């Protein structure tokens, strides 16, 4: 049998990409179950799929359309059911379109300087409520608002404005009140947001606007929802964990009671010092996730007394039902569902049943229907076993700088009759405030089936381990993350699990920055791969989009006042310390990490005669969507590593 790194694998790059089909934006209603499906083999299109309650599956998106929002560059919730019609954002023009069944859509909005996302339907007023992003003279600073779009005319009416960002509009069931999330620079939504609330006036505008929470204390609030009893509930991390809270004025629920407007603050809103928040499901685990995309859903109300939520435990998801105690109005009884799965997203409930998109470590993601009373699981779509027996993730915790970091280890098939150890590839996720999960990832199996070990890092600053761990990168990006990568290599080497002389590091976006820092500031790596990675954080502060334009103020510091710190953390400024070969992959239309940033880094290494490969994909953005480009990059990367193995 060939040595480690050269195993013959039946899982080709094309197979790994094809198996990477993704689903999201699940919704259950009278018309059936709907979701958006990303298909790399179809030009990277997003298609809206409907499954009737009789089991018939139909693709509703005709040729020439793709259901994808570009708001905040990362998009998210891009469609909604509007009675007998579907409203969706078309990727090519970012306008809202309407369609009935699979018929030819008709365009609803004609605002070419705007993009839309986070669509919900307002049936009482026959309109779509959405987040609107409008271009300005400064291409990096568009304006964001909460707007309503009349279905009959396409007329756009502004509902809320004045904050830098908006997300998660939620209507009370009778349509008389609305809640939403907003936040302002320099914060990111996983650091500090506001929960807002208002009534509708007779003309459909907002009145009695007020900030319910997040005005005076930094807390990350997300996923507001009105319950069947009109109570307003949202997830907040004020306890140190993203948990569910109910919001009250005195003893009465917001949503069912609203006092007279008090003193006003910016934007015509009133301050709400009298608001109380009551924990409904307190747990030392995170229920929420960082809002990189619009429309996340990690909880729902099953009925008047029972709720469903995904809580993270040491990086692994658990789906739990809980029943409210009449005495405390908090969850008192819990039951774990679908224990063979390890991540649950896009949770929704309909007529006493639970629906979600679930992932496991040994099969493709699946759309599940669950009973709250039994262990019954119906797989409605997906859930196929992999073509090859997968390497299963092993949770790892290891010491670094007096703290603990986390990761998942994947080992290849071990060779007999040899003392050789497998080469290691260190995976660094993007974000950097994101996470990796112990689920089946065909692109990890691509490497393990060829004889590479993989350590998939949840370095300090990742989500899923509480607020303190998530905020650990504040002021320390470009230091803490790569130190965690280095410490993981040392830990595995000391355990005798890998060959410390053949270690590689790879990552995309922020993970590409960690990769470049690791190569510049550590001697543990033989080579590295950067996918649209940040090489110059100062340039990123100038060139990136609005959503992340102040992110580095938090991650590193003020670009002017802390200029020396930026220089110390810049891989480009320390390109002279990179001596091992590198391979770069970049999208030509990337607006987050612009191509020039990668090309300057490539040039700096080439001038020093460092072996460099550079692959530019002209039509790709931030994250490759076309199957042929994903296949090409995987094949190029494996050949690159193999040339370096000793």
Question: In this structure, are 482 and 618 located in the same domain?
Answer: yes
406 and 363 inside one domain: no
Q: Which residues pair with 210 in a beta bridge?
A: 197, 270
Q: Are residues 496 and 594 in the same domain?
A: yes
Do 561 and 529 contact (CB within 8 A), yes or no? no
Closest of 64, 101, 80 to residue 25, by C-alpha: 80
Same domain, 628 and 520: yes
Number of domains in the chain: 2
Give Cα 173 distance to the centre of its chain.
28
Identify the segments of the chain with pLDDT beneath 50. Answer: 261-268, 270-273
Mark whether 379 and 422 lie in a shared domain: no
Distance CA 460, CA 402 (A): 12
Sign of CA dihedral 330, 215, 556, 586: positive
Please tell me the predicted confidence (pLDDT) of residue 263.
Answer: 37
Last residue of a domain, one of 353, 385, 417: 385
Question: Are residues 618 and 533 part of one domain?
Answer: yes
For residues 432, 446, 382 and 31, what is the CA-based torsion angle, rounded to 10 degrees? 40
Distance separating alpha carbons of residues 443 and 20, to the nearest angstrom: 8
CB within 8 A of 495, min separation 6: which ones?
none
Taking the CB of residue 640, how many other CB atoms lie within 10 A of it?
18
Residues 625 and 482 in one domain: yes
Helix axis angle for 480-494 and 510-521, nearest 10°, is 70
Coil vs helix vs strand at 80: strand
The alpha carbon of residue 512 and the mean position of all alpha carbons in its chain are separated, in whole angstroms, by 17
pLDDT at residue 592, as a whole number: 84
Number of Cα atoms under 13 Å in the Cβ half of residue 4: 27
Range list of H helices, 98-161: none
Predicted confidence (pLDDT) per residue in 371-393, tens digit: 988 888 999 999 999 989 999 99
pLDDT at position 591? 84
**Dist CA 188 CA 200 (whole Å):** 28
Is the domain of 429 the same as that of 331? no
pLDDT recorded at residue 259 = 56
pLDDT at position 1 is 63
Question: Is 429 contained in some domain?
Answer: yes
- 357, 385, 413 - which closes a domain: 385
- Asked if 418 and 526 sit in the same domain, the reply is yes
Asked if residue 368 and residue 311 are part of one domain, the reply reads yes
Q: Is residue 346 part of a domain?
A: yes
Tell me if 339 is assigned to some domain: yes
What pLDDT does residue 333 have?
83
Residue 456 domain flag = yes
Whether 190 is in a domain gets the answer no
631 located within any domain? yes
Q: What residues make up the domain containing 336? A: 297-385
Tokens coding 229:
């009893």
Tell me, letter by letter, the H, E, C secondary structure of 518-560: HHHHCCCCCEEEEECCCCCHHHHHHHCCHHHCCHHHHHCCCCC
pLDDT at 266: 40
Query: Per residue in 222-260, is it b (16+ CB within 10 Å) or e — as a string?
Result: bbbbbbeebbbbbbbbbbebbbbbbbbbeeebbbbebee
Show which of 385, 417, 444 is a domain's final residue. Answer: 385
Q: Both 402 and 309 in a single domain? A: no
pLDDT score at 225: 96
Clarify whether residues 594 and 534 are in a common domain: yes
Domain assignment present for 140:
no
Report the C-alpha gap between 142 and 51 in whole angstroms.
37
Number of Cβ within a 10 Å radius of residue 494 = 10
Tell me if 339 sits within 8 A of 370, measured CB to CB: no
In 571-642, the DSSP E strands lie at 582-587, 612-617
Q: Which pLDDT score is estimated for 265?
A: 39
Q: What is the CATH number of the domain that holds 491?
A: 3.40.50.1820
CA-CA distances (angstroms) from residue 46 to 36, 49, 160, 510?
6, 10, 29, 25
Cβ atoms of 338 and 310 within 8 Å: the answer is no
For residue 553, tell me if it sits in a domain: no
């Amino acid at each position: 049998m060939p040595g480690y790194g050269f195993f013959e694998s039946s899982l080709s790059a094309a197979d790994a990409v094809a198996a990477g089909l993704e689903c999201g934006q699940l919704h259950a209603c009278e018309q059936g179950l709907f979701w958006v499906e990303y298909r790399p083999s179809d030009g990277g299109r997003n298609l809206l799929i409907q499954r009737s309650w009789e089991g018939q599956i139909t693709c509703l998106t005709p040729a020439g359309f793709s259901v994808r929002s570009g708001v905040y560059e990362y998009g998210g919730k891009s469609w909604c059911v509007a009675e007998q019609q579907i409203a969706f954002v078309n990727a090519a023009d970012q306008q809202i379109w309407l369609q009935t069944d699979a018929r030819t859509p008709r365009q609803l909005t004609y605002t070419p300087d705007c993009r839309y996302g986070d669509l919900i339907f307002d049936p009482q007023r026959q309109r779509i409520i959405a987040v609107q992003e409008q271009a300005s003279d400064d291409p990096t600073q568009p304006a964001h608002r909460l707007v309503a779009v009349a279905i009959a005319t396409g007329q756009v009416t502004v509902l809320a404005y004045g904050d830098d960002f908006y997300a998660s509009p939620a209507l009370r069931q009778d349509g008389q009140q609305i809640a939403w999330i907003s936040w302002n620079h320099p914060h990111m939504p996983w650091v500090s947001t506001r929960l807002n609330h208002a009534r509708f006036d007779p003309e459909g505008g907002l009145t009695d606007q007020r900030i319910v929470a997040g005005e005076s204390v930094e807390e990350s609030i997300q996923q507001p929802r009105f319950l069947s009893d009109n109570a307003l509930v949202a997830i907040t991390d004020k306890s140190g964990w993203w948990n569910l809270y109910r919001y009250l004025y005195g003893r009465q629920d917001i949503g069912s009671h609203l006092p007279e407007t008090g003193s006003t603050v910016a934007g015509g809103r009133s301050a709400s010092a009298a608001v109380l928040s009551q924990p409904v499901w307190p747990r030392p685990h995170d229920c929420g996730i960082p809002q990189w995309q619009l429309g996340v859903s990690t909880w729902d109300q099953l009925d008047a007394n029972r709720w469903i939520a995904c809580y993270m435990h040491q990086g692994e998801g658990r789906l739990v039902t809980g029943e409210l105690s009449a005495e405390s109005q908090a969850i008192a009884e819990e039951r774990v569902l679908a224990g063979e799965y390890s991540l649950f997203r896009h949770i929704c409930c309909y007529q006493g049943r639970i629906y979600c998109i679930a992932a496991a470590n040994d099969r493709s993601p699946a759309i599940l229907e669950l009973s709250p009373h039994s262990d019954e699981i119906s797989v409605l779509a997906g859930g196929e076993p992999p073509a090859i027996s997968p390497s299963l993730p092993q949770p790892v915790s290891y010491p670094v700088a007096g703290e603990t970091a986390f990761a998942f280890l994947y080992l290849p098939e071990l060779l007999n009759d040899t003392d050789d150890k497998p080469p290691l590839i260190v995976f660094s996720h993007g974000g950097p405030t994101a996470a990796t999960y112990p689920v089946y990832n065909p692109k990890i199996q691509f490497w393990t089936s060829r004889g590479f070990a993989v350590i998939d890092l949840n370095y300090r600053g990742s989500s899923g381990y509480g607020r303190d761990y998530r905020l650990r990168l504040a002021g320390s990006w470009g230091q803490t993350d790569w130190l965690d990568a280095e410490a993981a290599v040392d830990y595995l080497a000391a355990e005798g699990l890998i060959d410390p002389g053949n270690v590689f590091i790879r990552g995309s976006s922020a993970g590409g920055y960690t990769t470049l820092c690791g190569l510049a500031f550590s001697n543990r790596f033989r080579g590295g791969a950067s996918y649209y990675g940040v090489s110059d954080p100062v340039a990123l502060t100038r060139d990136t989009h609005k959503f992340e334009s102040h992110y580095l103020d938090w991650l590193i510091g003020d670009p002017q006042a802390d200029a020396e710190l930026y220089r110390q953390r810049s891989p480009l400024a320390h390109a002279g310390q990179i001596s091992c070969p590198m391979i770069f992959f970049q999208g030509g239309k990337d607006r987050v990490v612009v191509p020039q940033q990668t090309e300057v880094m490539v040039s700096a290494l080439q001038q020093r005669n460092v072996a460099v490969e550079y692959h530019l994909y002209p039509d790709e953005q931030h994250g490759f969507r076309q199957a042929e480009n994903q296949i090409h990059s995987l094949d190029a990367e494996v050949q690159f590593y193999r040339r370096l193995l000793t």
